[in-house]
Amino acid sequence: MVVGAGPTGLTAAIELAGRGISVCVIDSLAAPRTESRALAVWPRTRDVLTSLQVLDDVQQDSDLFLDQVAYELGDARSVSIKLPTDTMAQILPQPVLEQALIERLGDLAVSVHWGTRLVDVVQHPDGVSVTMSSPGQNEHEACVKFIIGADGASSSVRSLLGISYVGHTIPASFHLADCTLQGFPNDNVFRNFVSQAGYVAICPLPDGGHRIFARSEHTDSRTEMSPAEMLKRAGLSSVGVRSTEWTSDFRIHERVSETFRQGNVFLAGDAAHTHSPAGGQGIQTGIGDAHNLSWKLSTVLRGIALPSLLDSYETERRPVAQAVIDRSSVQAKLWDTSTPWKRRRNSFAFRAANQLGVVRARLIPALLGYADAYPPSPAQSSRSKQFLHQRHRSPAFKTNLQLVAEGSWSPEEIAEIGRLQARHELLGDNVMQISDPVPRTRRGIVCVRPDGYAAFRVGDLVNLERGLDQIIRSWANPRLLRG
C-alpha cells in the first residue's frame, strides 16, 4: 500500500505496478491538488521519469528550462551564472507532473482512492493491518505486506507509528505568489534580489506568468505579503501585477524522521524529511526515495532477494536527505538580510562562490542529482565507491542487476562474464558491452542496479567473481542459484 498520491507516492506505485506487484494507493484529499507547490525537475529526476515513460507526456505542457541564475545584491553588484544545456532545471508545475503520473499509473490498471484516510496501523509478523475511512463508508480494514508512507510533512503514517520528526522551524515567514506581471522580462532566468529590504526571488512559469517568493522576519505564518509589496522589496516598483492566480504564506521546516523504517512500514519524501525550497530539491529527493525503495521491495516480494536487502534503503537515502537539508539550510541563511553584516556576508558569499567556481564545481552537480554517493550497504559493495552509471539507462521496471563491460573484451572473456552472470536469477540474462570511440586505457565491468546505480565496479574477471559472490551471499535468495 502507498499512502499519499504526490510525486513520491505515485512514482513508487508506478515502479511497483510496472514490476507486477499489486499495489493500492490512497490519499486523504478528495482530488489532486490544483495549486503548484514544487516547480523544478532536475536532470536526474528527468532520467527517472523518462524510464517510467512519463516525461514525454508532460513535455508538451512545459518546455521551459532555466538557463541562467542571476543575483542582484543591492550594492550595485550582481552575479550571473549561465547553466549549460545538460544542467538546466525544467520548470514543471506539480499539478501537471502529478496528472501525468496518475495517467501512467492508470495505464498499469491502478487508480488512486481519493478521500481515503488512514486511521490505524497495526504490524504483525506477516505484514500490516490498516484501518481506513472513506466518505460515505464505515471504517474498513485491509491487510497488506508493506506500506510506503509518502503522505507529506504532516504524515499520518509517521504519526500513527509514533516516529519523531527531528529538527527545527526557521524563525521567519515566507510568502509566495503566482502572478502575471507587466513590465518584467519574460525569459528563462531565475532572478534573486538580496537587499536591505529583504530577499525576493522571481521564477518564470511555463504559462508566461511568474512565481514571486519572499522572506520576512515575522514568525507568524499568518502574516501576509502582497505581490506588489514583494516587487517593491525587490526594487521593482515599476512592475505591475495584472493578475494573481495563487498566494501562500508559510513557515519553512528543516526536519528528518528519526527512522525511515519501522518493521514493514517505510517513510519516503516529505514524510521522511523536509527542508527549505532553496535549490528546488523537494521533488527530486522524494522521487529518489521512491526509485531506490521500489525495486528493492519488488525484488523481495518476488522472492528473488532476501528481506535483508530492504535494510539498505535507509542506509543509502538518509545521507542524501541530510545532505539536501544541510545544503539548502546554507542557501536559506543567505536569504537573511536582517542586519548590515548579514547583507555584507551574503554579498561576499555570492560573489566569492561564483568567482572561485564553487557554484559550478560543487553546487550545480549536487542539484543535478548525479553527485549522490551511497555508503556501503547490503545493495552496495564496500570495496568500491558508489556512483551513478550514467552511460547505461536500464529499461523500465527491471528487477535484476545488469553487467556492463566497458572497453575492449575478447569474445572468450565476454562468454566468461556471461557464465558468471548466469549463476543467479538476480543477475541479468545478457552482458551489455559499451565501447568508447577512443579505446580505454583501463577496462572495467560495472554491476548496475535497476535504479541505475552501480553496485560495484571491477577491472578483471577474478574480482568480478568476488563481487558477485558478495552480493549473492548478502541478499540474493540462495534457492535461486543456478548450477
The domain 2-61+94-166+254-336 is placed in CATH, from the list 3.30.565.10, 3.40.630.40, 3.40.140.10, 3.50.50.60, at 3.50.50.60
- pLDDT for the residue numbered 23: 97
pLDDT tens for each residue of 125-177: 889 999 999 887 889 999 999 999 999 999 999 999 999 999 999 888 889 99
Phi, psi dihedral angles at 214 (to 5 degrees): -140, 155
- pLDDT for the residue numbered 388: 55
Q: Pairing mode, if any, of strands 261-262 and 210-216?
A: unpaired
pLDDT band of 438, cuts 50, 70, 90: very low
Instruction: Tell whether domain 173-251 is in CATH 3.20.20.370.
Output: no
pLDDT beyond 80 at 422: yes
Please write down the HEC assignment for all residues of 54-74: CHHHHHCCCCCECCEEEEECC
List CB contacts of 97: < 8 A, sequence separation 6 or more.
7, 41, 49, 58, 283
pLDDT band of 56, cuts 50, 70, 90: confident
pLDDT band of 442, cuts 50, 70, 90: confident
How is residue 111 written as a grid cell? 487508480
pLDDT beyond 50 at 384: no
Query: Are 306 and 475 spatial neighbours (Cβ–Cβ below 8 Å)?
Result: yes
Look at 234 and 347; give whichever has higher pLDDT: 234
Look at 157 and 343; give whichever has higher pLDDT: 157
User: Helix, strand, or coil here: 272?
Assistant: coil
Task: Out of 221-225, 307-311, 442-446, give the one with best mean pLDDT.
Answer: 307-311
- pLDDT for the residue numbered 437: 45
Q: Pairing mode, if any, of strands 147-149 and 265-267?
A: parallel
